[in-house]
């Protein structure tokens, strides 16, 4: 075994393929005889010294990770602030790293995680502790800077496009006497990437989705209702895809309009789709159905994109190679080298170019009328949902997802009083 | 071409596999040289004399129907009343049948449709018009009498079990710092079949789904919240599957508690999952996510059950054979001949045994505590979700679903003034 341990940690909302990245990391590290610990529940496990010994997992389990959704070691929503504000936590991290001879820290997450990895690397340098910090990209929101796309997005995008295509066939069959409008709520609070992916489900103005509502365009209720009516009159039904993050011109989130409190002061959880469905029903009188897929869209490994799975594995493998090559404070990213045929390779980005930036959905990707995607958007999006990468199924008709043992190594430090 | 035309019609909510039945019907009829017309938008198309000439569709299109969700000819929610109340409509149907030499009428739907087919057959006899009426089973609700299971259910059941297993892995990864409770709303207003199918996703009390709420058991809010808290304390998180049809002991639908009107009198569309999520959040303070898959669960052909697809094709084929054999007023049904190994064959049922009956979810299928399924339920349910039957995908990463030409034959009668 080479000297120095690698610590891998998952952060933020999980995806259908973040475990594929974990599988890529562990497989590559095993090939290079590097010991891999994984933090339980993300950075919290590192602070609490709750570290999983991945060498206890079988080769079959690590292969199985590549087709298992969720976050196999646990993730967390826990953001470290600046080194000044959270100095004790950063120092604790370094203590834990030292205690377990961690010389490589791989943080698998979005831009917050890139920021944390970057800060840890600076503090390690300040303390003269030799540590290579690598950010590993992950988010279904596709809002990470520098990288052409982000592992996790392609599979959620494929789920979205396939689901919208299927539900639209249902609505088309029912529209004559029943449901005429269907509203699908997509994740992606600040950027319209996932809602846009639904646009791949159809071609031309008469194919679903007929209307996409992007967070990048102000929601204009009167115009929206007019468009719905126009589509129903022309096509017979209307499929709407709305991003959860749509806002009115004055910056109010539409999602906050649905829900609220009922007359007894109890919480009513709503959302964009339920709000829009109510408006369509009241204003136009059409029968409406709506869906909120929520976590289903980011955990649907059964309909993962092969491109996405391949890229998730590749960034894991590259992260280990970057770490061993001492490429501190960098992130392996996806570089698109050709649209047609689609080709990509692994590139690299300095963490400070990724940290706390948000890649917005380009203006040129939204159709002039504001309710659909352009050909440019299709050219970008389509390769990302290409290919099927089915998990194996058991005789019981269910996917064989793996559960790890997650055996923790013995603690060496006093309990963290964080 | 043999004498006499066969008229096929789809009715009620569509499924992921009702078109597989249509494919089975048309393929078998073509092999036997029988002309097949299909009514546009269900029985409405028969009344309006909007009849599709299926001979205009290519063999590839008819094969493609077997993997296309939705209802390819259009369906409808349109119930004929008794012959006394709706006599003019029944007579109009017979006129249309006569005008197009329809001697076989295949009505693909649930118990309402079986009832209609039955009545049409009686009226034809009264008028001395030689007509063989066959009901063809279809419903995701699985509430059809006589048949062991109903085409459409197995695929929706598989979608449910797979989605719950996947989302549960997501929740498990997030629970330490974020979402602790996840609520999944399953279709099935009167019977708990689909909610029960979610139970296949896990085994034992610690695996998701931890709590299933059946319409057959009165919803007791205090007890439910106590159970959620117990599971969260023991497992760290709790996955709840609720049937849209759950009711309190006094017969009030819980779905009607969510939603309602906001303070401006506007419609707020809610549902069971949103209601339960709000209660959990208020009473227990846990972060909650919830999903309403709605039409996605019945149109998800991409995750169809092979058992279900096979049975959907088989009832279509058998329906043609029944028709040509003159087995009037019957329905081909699924007979289970063995649980282990699972074996089934096509049986038959008289339409009056199917019409207007509802097969309830057996008491012995619900665990004593009311929140899960028994081994007996597993034995029944599991074979129905077995096997994968993926649709073909294009290079664009999307399933190749077919759209028919739906060329209508020339009308021969005056317009229907219904």
Phi, psi for residue A394 in degrees, rounded to 5: -85, 175
B140 is in an annotated binding site: yes
Residue A383 lies in a domain: no
With beta carbons under 8 A apart, name residues in chain A contacting B76: 174, 176-178
pLDDT tens for each residue of A384-402: 999 999 999 999 999 999 9
Q: Which of the residues of B are catalytic? A: 141
A243: domain CATH number is 3.40.50.460
pLDDT of A1 over the 50 cut: no
Contact B177 A41 (CB under 8 A): yes
- Residue B11, domain CATH: 3.40.50.450
Does the annotation flag A298 for ligand binding?
yes
* Percent of chain A residues topping a pLDDT of 70: 96
Mark yes or no for CB contact A177/B44 under 8 Å. yes
Q: So what's the pLDDT on residue A265?
A: 66
Residue B169 domain boundaries = 153-299
User: CB–CB of B295 and A171 under 8 A?
Assistant: yes
Q: For residue B44, which residues of chain A lie inside 8 Å, CB to CB?
A: 176-177
Q: What is the pLDDT of residue B89?
A: 95
CA gap A223, A195 in Å, rounded? 19
- Chain B, residues 287-346, CB within 8 A of chain A, namely 288-296, 298-303, 305, 307
d(CA A413, CA A36): 19
Main-chain dihedrals φ then ψ at residue B30, nearest 5 degrees: -65, -40
Interface A-B, measured as beta-carbon pairs within 8 A, has a size of 248
| Residue A86 sits in the same domain as residue A181 | no
Question: How far, in Å, CA of A319 to CA of A323, rounded?
Answer: 6
Q: Please say whether the beta carbons of A146 and A349 come within 8 A.
A: yes
Q: Pick B278's closest partner by Cβ from A266, A300, A387.
A: A266
Which residues in chain B have their CB less than 8 angstroms from residue A72's CB?
173
**In this structure, is residue B41 part of a structural domain?**
yes
Q: Which of B284, B299, B314 is the last residue of a domain?
A: B299
Task: Say if A27 is an interface residue toward chain B (CB within 8 Å).
Answer: no
Measured between CB atoms, does A282 come within 8 Å of chain B?
yes
- Pair (A158, A288) in one structural domain: yes
Across the interface, whether the CB atoms of B70 and A176 are under 8 A apart is answered no
d(CA B269, CA A185): 14
Q: Which of A141, A143, A148, A310 is catalytic?
A: A141
Task: Inspect the interface and report whether the beta carbons of A262 and B260 lie closer than 8 Å.
Answer: yes
Residue A398 domain-assigned (yes or no): no
- Cβ contact (<8 Å) for B167 and A269? no
Residues B134 and B209 grouped into a single domain:
no
Sheet with strand B132-137: strands edge to edge: B51-53, B35-39, B5-10, B102-109, B132-137, B330-339, B342-350
A195 and A96 within one domain: no
The reply, when asked if residue A247 is annotated as ligand binding, is: no
Partner residue facing A173 (CB), from B75, B294, B382: B75
- pLDDT confidence tier of residue A3, bands split at 50, 70 and 90: confident
Tell me the three state secondary structure of residue B381.
helix
Q: What is the pLDDT of residue B1?
A: 44
Residue A380 falls within a domain, yes or no? Answer: no
Q: Do A291 and B293 touch (CB under 8 A)?
A: yes
β-pairing verdict for A267-268 and A288-291? unpaired
C-alpha distances (whole Å) from A78 to each of A11, A16, B186 are 8, 21, 32
Find the CB nearest B77 among A13, A68, A177.
A177
Is B141 annotated as a binding-site member?
A: yes
Domain count for chain B: 2
Say if the Cβ atoms of B172 and A269 lie within 8 Å: no
Question: Dihedral, CA atoms, A95, A97, A101, A103, nearest 10 degrees?
Answer: -130
State the pLDDT at residue A206: 96
Q: Tell me if chain B has a CB within 8 Å of the CB of A211.
A: no
**Residues A307, A172 share a domain:** no
Mutate: best of A76, A165, A169, partner B, most B CBs <10 A: A169
* Cβ pair A242, A276 in contact under 8 A: yes
Complex ipTM: 0.97
> Are B15 and B62 in a shared domain?
yes
Sort out which chain A residues have CB atoms less than 8 A from B162's CB and list them: 302, 398-399
Query: Domain for residue B309, yes or no?
Result: yes
What pLDDT, on the 0 to 100 scale, is given for residue B189? 75
- Residues A317, A201, single domain; the answer is no
- Which sign, positive or negative, has the C-alpha torsion B111, B116, B120, B122? positive
* Residues from chain B contacting residue A169 (CB–CB below 8 Å): 14, 68-71, 299, 401
A93 and A121 share one domain? yes
Which residues of chain B are under the pLDDT cut of 70?
1-2, 258-270
**Closest Cα to residue A160, out of A12, A24, A308?**
A308
A171 — contact with chain B (CB < 8 Å)?
yes
Domain membership flag for residue B10: yes
Distance from CA of B244 to the nearest CA of A (A): 14
Cβ A301 vs Cβ A401: under 8 Å: yes
Q: List pLDDT tens digits, range B140-187.
A: 999 999 999 999 999 999 999 999 999 999 999 999 999 999 999 999
**Which stretch of DSSP H or E encloses residue A92?**
helix A87-99
Tell which B residues from 237 to 276 touch A, by Cβ distance under 8 Å. 258-260, 262, 266-270, 274
Please write the tens of the pLDDT for every residue from A240-293.
Answer: 999 999 999 998 888 877 655 655 566 655 689 999 999 999 999 999 999 999
Average pLDDT, stretch A345-370?
94
Q: How far apart are CA A256 and CA A269, in angstroms?
A: 9
Residue B53 lies inside a defined structural domain of this protein: yes
Quick one: A162 and A282 in the same domain? yes
Residues B33 and B88 in one domain: yes
In terms of domains, do A48 and A128 share one?
yes
Residue with tokens 């399924």: B373
- Which of 65-104 (B) contact A at CB < 8 A? 68-72, 74-78
For residue A418, the model assigns a pLDDT of: 79
- CA B245 to the chain's CA centroid: 15
In a shared domain, residues A126 and A183 = no
A39 located within any domain: yes
Of B266, B268, B388, the CB nearest to A393: B388
For residue A46, list chain B residues with Cβ-Cβ distance below 8 A.
none
H-type alpha helices, B87-182: 87-99, 111-127, 153-174
Residue A138 has pLDDT above 80, yes or no: yes
């Amino acid at each position: 075994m080479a000297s120095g341990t690698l610590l891998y940690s998952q952060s933020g909302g999980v995806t259908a393929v973040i475990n594929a990245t974990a599988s890529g990391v562990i497989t590559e590290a095993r090939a290079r005889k590097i010991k891999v610990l994984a933090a339980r529940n993300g950075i919290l496990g590192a602070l609490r010294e709750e570290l999983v010994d991945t060498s206890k997992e079988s080769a079959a389990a690590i292969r199985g990770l590549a087709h298992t959704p969720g976050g196999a070691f646990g993730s967390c929503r826990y953001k470290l602030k600046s080194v000044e504000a959270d100095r004790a936590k950063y120092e604790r991290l370094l203590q834990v790293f030292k205690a377990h001879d961690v010389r490589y820290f791989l943080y698998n997450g979005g831009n917050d995680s890139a920021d944390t990895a970057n800060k840890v690397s600076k503090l390690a340098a300040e303390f003269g502790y030799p540590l290579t910090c690598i950010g590993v990209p992950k988010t279904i929101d596709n809002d990470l800077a520098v990288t052409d796309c982000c592992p996790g997005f392609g599979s959620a995008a494929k789920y979205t496009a396939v689901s919208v295509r299927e539900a639209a066939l249902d609505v088309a069959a029912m529209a004559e006497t029943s449901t005429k409008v269907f509203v699908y709520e997509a994740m992606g609070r600040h950027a319209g990437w996932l809602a846009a992916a639904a646009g791949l489900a159809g071609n031309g103005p008469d194919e679903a989705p007929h209307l996409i509502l992007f967070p990048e365009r102000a929601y204009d209720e009167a115009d929206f209702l007019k468009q719905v009516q126009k589509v129903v009159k022309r096509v017979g039904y209307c499929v709407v895809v709305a991003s959860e993050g749509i806002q009115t011109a004055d910056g109010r989130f539409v999602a906050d309009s649905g829900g609220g409190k009922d007359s007894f002061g109890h919480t009513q959880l709503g959302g964009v789709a339920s709000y829009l469905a109510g408006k369509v029903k009241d204003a136009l009188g059409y029968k409406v159905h709506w869906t909120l897929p929520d976590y289903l869209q980011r955990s649907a490994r059964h309909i993962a994109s092969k491109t996405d799975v391949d890229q998730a594995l590749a960034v894991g493998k590259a992260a280990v190679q970057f770490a061993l090559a001492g490429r501190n404070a960098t992130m392996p990213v996806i570089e698109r080298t050709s649209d047609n045929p689609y080709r990509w390779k692994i590139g690299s980005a300095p963490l400070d170019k990724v940290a706390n930036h948000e890649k917005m959905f380009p203006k040129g990707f939204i159709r002039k009328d504001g309710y659909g995607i352009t050909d440019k958007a299709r050219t970008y999006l389509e390769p990302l949902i290409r290919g099927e990468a089915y998990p194996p199924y058991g005789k019981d008709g269910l996917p064989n997802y793996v559960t790890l043992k997650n055996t923790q190594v013995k603690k060496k430090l006093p309990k963290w009083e964080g």
